[in-house]
Amino acid sequence: MTDYSDEDITHFYNVALDLVDKAGKVVVSAIENRDKKIAEKASPTDLVTETDKAVEDLLVSGLKKQFPNHDFIGEEDVSAQSGCVSNFSSKPTWIIDPIDGTMNFVHTNPLVTISVGLTINGKLVIGIISAPFKGRGATCNSKPIKVSNCTQLSLAQCILEVWSRDGAESEAKQQANFSSIVSKVHSVRSLGSACLNFAFVAAGNSDVYCHAGIRCWDMAAGALIVQESGGVVLDPSGKDFDLMSRRILVASSQDLVKEWITQVDFKTSEFKRDYPDVIFPCS
């Protein structure tokens, strides 16, 4: 196992940031096209466009050129293969969501982000979320951001993602979760980009976000950014967060998390893990 210095990590970060900036320009120029080439993945509401692929290629090829020995987990590459992550090891591993909020992108809704995370020895060390339309990148190092002071569920703005036409069981659970939550919080919002949700909690624009069924490329950068901005990152059960588990709860404070766990009955389906084994337990 190789150790990397702070200097190495800063170099990785700067290369990735430059590529994310280039990728943002591709997204901005493509969103207005009303004739996007759209394909369905696992369901009629799970979509990919040629821009998702182009952006993933740009990021992966750019990073590979600089760091040929690193590994990559890209949403579109994994989706085009078996759908399962097969290479989560101790090596530096870039986890990439080229357009998070593809459904928004398809509708020319600008709430979309590019997400790049890096793990080394299974631990998240870099997280970059860029929202090219809002100019509110949530990269921790270039702009200090802080979670809100919210400690009470009744005063919390909660972000909940709604996934349409996902089968009767999922719809029933989503409705039950909505009912359980809406009666206890200050307000509920649904943005349509998981990364933007993390960025909102990290920057103190919303207070709590919980999601099950999400993939590792949706969570990698965001989980680190929430943690670095003083927030709490856990499994929805209150146990430690596991990047490959497909479940996450982030909040502005421990007090808020405590109230959430005791008062909200958050139902989740059993999802196949992104990587079968828990080889990097979070502490």
Residues at the interface with ligand IPD (CB under 6 A): 75, 97, 100-102, 161, 163, 192-194, 213-214, 218
Active site residue 99: yes
- Determine contact, residues 71/122, Cβ cutoff 8 Å: no
Alpha-carbon span 67 to 70, nearest angstrom: 6
Selected catalytic residue, list 56, 76, 100, 274:
100
Amino acid at 20: V
DSSP codes joined into one string, 59-72: HHHHHHHH-TT-EE
Active site residue 7: no
**Alpha-carbon dihedral sign for residues 100, 101, 103, 108:** negative
We find the least distance from the C-beta atom of residue 102 to ligand IPD, in angstroms, to be 4
Q: Indicate the residue among 218 and 274 with the shorter CB distance to ligand IPD.
A: 218
154: which DSSP letter?
A: G
SS (H, E, C) 25-57: HHHHHHHCCCCCCEEECCCCCCEEEHHHHHHHH
We find the least distance from the C-beta atom of residue 193 to ligand IPD, in angstroms, to be 5
Selected catalytic residue, list 52, 207, 218, 274:
218
Selected catalytic residue, list 31, 51, 56, 75:
75
> ∠204-179-234 over CA atoms, to 5°?
45
Distance from CA of residue 172 to its chain's centroid?
Answer: 24
Buried b or exposed e, range 102-119, using 16+ CB within 10 angstroms:
bbbbbeeebbbbbbbbbb
- Determine contact, residues 147/225, Cβ cutoff 8 Å: no
We find the least distance from the C-beta atom of residue 123 to ligand IPD, in angstroms, to be 23
Q: Indicate the residue among 75 and 207 with the shorter CB distance to ligand IPD.
A: 75
Q: Indicate the residue among 101 and 127 with the shorter CB distance to ligand IPD.
A: 101
Active site residue 218: yes
Selected catalytic residue, list 52, 56, 76, 97:
97
Active site residue 259: no
With CB atoms as reference, the residue minimizing the distance to ligand IPD is 194
We find the least distance from the C-beta atom of residue 211 to ligand IPD, in angstroms, to be 7
Alpha-carbon span 104 to 107, nearest angstrom: 5
Q: Indicate the residue among 120 and 158 with the shorter CB distance to ligand IPD.
A: 158
Selected catalytic residue, list 31, 99, 145, 248:
99
We find the least distance from the C-beta atom of residue 25 to ligand IPD, in angstroms, to be 19
Active site residue 45: no
Q: Indicate the residue among 79 and 253 with the shorter CB distance to ligand IPD.
A: 79
We find the least distance from the C-beta atom of residue 13 to ligand IPD, in angstroms, to be 22
Q: Indicate the residue among 130 and 193 with the shorter CB distance to ligand IPD.
A: 193
| Residues assigned a catalytic role | 75, 97, 99-100, 102, 218
